[in-house]
Amino acid sequence: MANTSGRVLGVNGNMVTVEFDNAISKNEVGYIQVGSDRLKGEVIRINGNTAALQVFEMTNGISVGDRVEFTDEMLSVALGPGLLQQIYDGLQNPLPQLAEQCGFFLQRGVYLDAIPNKNWDFTPTAGVGDTLYPGDTFGTVPEGLFTHQIMVPFTFANVPYKVLSIKEKGSYGVRDIVCVVEDQKGAKKELSMVFTWPVKKAIKLYEERLRPDETLVTKIRIIDTFLPVAKGGTYCTPGPFGAGKTVLQHMTSRNADVDIVIIAACGERAGEVVEVLKEFPELTDPKTGRSLMERTIIICNTSSMPVASREASVYTAVTIAEYYRQMGLNILLLADSTSRWAQAMREMSGRLEEIPGEEAFPAYLESRIAEFYERACKVRLKDGRIGSVTIGGTVSPAGGNFEEPVTQATLKVVGAFHGLSRERSDARKYPAIDPLSSWSKYEGVIKGSKVEYARRILFRGSEINQMMKVVGEEGTSVVDYVTYQKGELLDACYLQQNSFDPVDSSIPIERQRYLFDLLFKVLASEFAFDDKKQVRSFFNTIRQHFLDWNNVPFKGERFAQIEKEIETLYKGKQVAVDPDAEKLI
């Protein structure tokens, strides 16, 4: 039963002003009664005895005087076994079951259990008389590839609880009572495998927050070597429409060295989401050889939901990620795209008549974005295990303008910036990450001094390329032309990959290091050429050898043959080695 009731005073889009009795709190859930429908909303502002609710459904038909029931509960998600392989909307409604019940067009006001009612093979890990705290494990169940830990609800007060009874090993329903505990005052609490947690509140039941210092391997060379991401770190991928953000996310989710991938399609409702829903169940997980969906959770908005639900989907995703982190797992959360989430905030801020900031975004845009990315972390849990949540968000600035507020606010808080370039995308370069403007604060898989040497060649090669556009190739010295060709070689053979090639689409660390070492020897070499024609011929030949090398299995017979041909090629023209690079080889 609701503790507080209210009445609708006004409707402005999906914001409803309500007059209420008794007391309510911010972020509390309320339901507006419209005929036989109950429309879910969240309190976002309170002023006296009136409150503003953002409603997560279309508000057609709401009238002044309609009854509102407040639940005395925060906007929350259900946590427990059965989350993996699910496809949810922003309110954690399972979309396949919702479609079965409602048909092709989803009905408003229909809310289903997020976790399916099924039996799980429960194994107790605690005994009668044991003392437990919130977040401690008292049992486990197998969930696909993982051992899902059944924990004391995080919402409990941080006091000791004594186990009075616990079920023996066996099969039980997910909502059956499997354990009974009591606190120091003798109050008993019954525990099932499911509990809820408010999405706007970070889960902080860990012993220590650690520095993200372990590279998150993505098997994408330009990222792992030049623009690394750390487990428990953050990164953003801004870029214009059609520059390849979604493809890059797909490849990252497939190849990243993490346990679970959570995709929050918080801003995309059309082609991108359809592509994700169709492709992910068909993709083979290279780690297990089984379906990638077995360790994936997808959260996406539907066209029947207003833009306010974009915010809910972001927080729903990160809360589920933190839950699995508490089991000592490494989670990758991909948010696509946070620009749409920010635009939803701008729309709601306008309806609240708040003083606007830059480009009409709310003045608190930066703090909201920072609060989201700060929930990424690498932590040491009370039992010594390490868990992490890595957050990667895509940004879709209009026209690819990285100076707009959402991109700039994101760049202030993330640890790596993978900026996609329209020019590189149009040139069919994958990934279309601009190596000159992008950066990372994390350590990569290859020695930093060698990477920095290669990066200088890229920058100098770009400068010479810009100069040649003005003075022409004939106005360039042979030495500068060699540097330009070295930069092009590095770009074509290392920074780019073929996402359709079974070998080149994902490159293990050992192969990345092997390739970079040989390529570095070419970059560090000083060559003797008579004219630019010889330079062009040499680099065209060696570039093709490297490209062929990238497409053959690692350390096979053909691999060794091409490697020998490359060494013969560059040593035949080499006259010296750059002294600055010689000590790095």
Confidence of residue 2 (pLDDT cuts 50, 70, 90): very low
Considering 170, 193, 216, which residue would you say is the last residue of a domain? 193
Name every residue whose Cβ is closer than 8 Å to that of residue 43 and which is 6 or more positions away in sequence. Answer: 24, 25, 26, 27, 28, 29, 30, 51, 52, 53, 70
Question: Is 106 domain-assigned?
Answer: no
Whether 138 and 59 map to the same domain: the answer is no
Q: Which whole number is the average pLDDT over 184-201?
A: 95
Alpha helices in 27-122 (DSSP H): 95-102
Cα–Cα distance, 309 to 349 (Å, whole number): 15
Q: Which whole number is the average pLDDT over 525-531?
A: 92
Question: Is 108 domain-assigned?
Answer: no
Q: What is the pLDDT of residue 103?
A: 77
Considering 398, 423, 440, which residue would you say is the last residue of a domain? 440
pLDDT score of 547 more than 50: yes
Confidence of residue 272 (pLDDT cuts 50, 70, 90): low
Six-digit token pair at 155?
């919402």
Cα–Cα distance, 374 to 88 (Å, whole number): 24
Specify the 3-state DSSP secondary structure of 63: coil
Question: Is 537 domain-assigned?
Answer: yes
Whether 329 and 181 map to the same domain: the answer is no
Query: Is 320 exposed, middle or buried, given 0-12, 13-18 or 19+ CB atoms closer than 10 A?
Result: buried
| Distance in angstroms between the alpha carbons of the first and the last residue of the chain | 72
Residue ranges for the known binding site for ATP are 239-246
Whether 40 and 137 map to the same domain: the answer is no
Domain extent, residue 23, equals 4-74
The four Cα atoms 326, 327, 332, 335 give a dihedral, to 10 degrees, of: -50
Question: Is 161 domain-assigned?
Answer: yes
177 vs 249, residue with greater confidence? 177
Q: Which whole number is the average pLDDT over 95-109?
A: 84
For residue 49, the domain's CATH number is 2.40.10.170
pLDDT digits (tens, 9 = 90+) for 9-25: 999 989 999 999 889 99
Residue ranges for the known binding site are 239-246
pLDDT score of 568 more than 60: yes
pLDDT score of 389 more than 50: yes
Q: What is the pLDDT of residue 310?
A: 82
For residue 560, the domain's CATH number is 1.10.1140.10
Question: Is 104 domain-assigned?
Answer: no
Cα–Cα distance, 437 to 448 (Å, whole number): 18
Whether 415 and 453 map to the same domain: the answer is no
pLDDT score of 146 more than 70: yes
For residue 166, the domain's CATH number is 2.40.50.100
Cα–Cα distance, 565 to 567 (Å, whole number): 5
Question: Is 27 domain-assigned?
Answer: yes
Confidence of residue 247 (pLDDT cuts 50, 70, 90): confident
Count structural domains, the chain.
4
pLDDT score of 278 more than 80: no
Alpha helices in 23-108 (DSSP H): 95-102
DSSP class of residue 566 equals H
Residue of 581, 437, 429, 464 whose CA lies nearest to 516: 581
Q: What is the pLDDT of residue 270?
A: 52
Considering 162, 193, 224, which residue would you say is the last residue of a domain? 193
Question: Is 516 domain-assigned?
Answer: yes
Confidence of residue 6 (pLDDT cuts 50, 70, 90): very high
Name every residue whose Cβ is closer than 8 Å to that of residue 16 and which is 6 or more positions away in sequence. Answer: 8, 10, 32, 41, 52, 53, 55, 59, 62, 68
DSSP class of residue 433 equals B
Whether 59 and 131 map to the same domain: the answer is no
Whether 282 and 371 map to the same domain: the answer is yes
**N residues, the chain:** 585
CA atoms within 13 A on the CB side of 356: 15
Q: What percent of the chain has pLDDT over 70?
A: 98
Decide: 98 and 89 in contact? Cβ < 8 Å: yes
What secondary structure does DSSP assign to 343-357, as a single string? Answer: HHHHHHHHHTTPPB-
Q: What is the pLDDT of residue 268?
A: 57
Alpha helices in 308-417 (DSSP H): 308-325, 338-351, 365-373, 405-411
Whether 283 and 425 map to the same domain: the answer is yes
303 vs 260, residue with greater confidence? 260
Whether 460 and 432 map to the same domain: the answer is no
Whether 455 and 474 map to the same domain: the answer is yes
Whether 268 and 408 map to the same domain: the answer is yes
Whether 528 and 569 map to the same domain: the answer is yes
Confidence of residue 269 (pLDDT cuts 50, 70, 90): low
Question: Is 249 domain-assigned?
Answer: yes
Cα distances (Å, whole numbers) of residue 585 to 453, 511, 522, 523, 550: 11, 17, 11, 11, 21
Whether 349 and 425 map to the same domain: the answer is yes
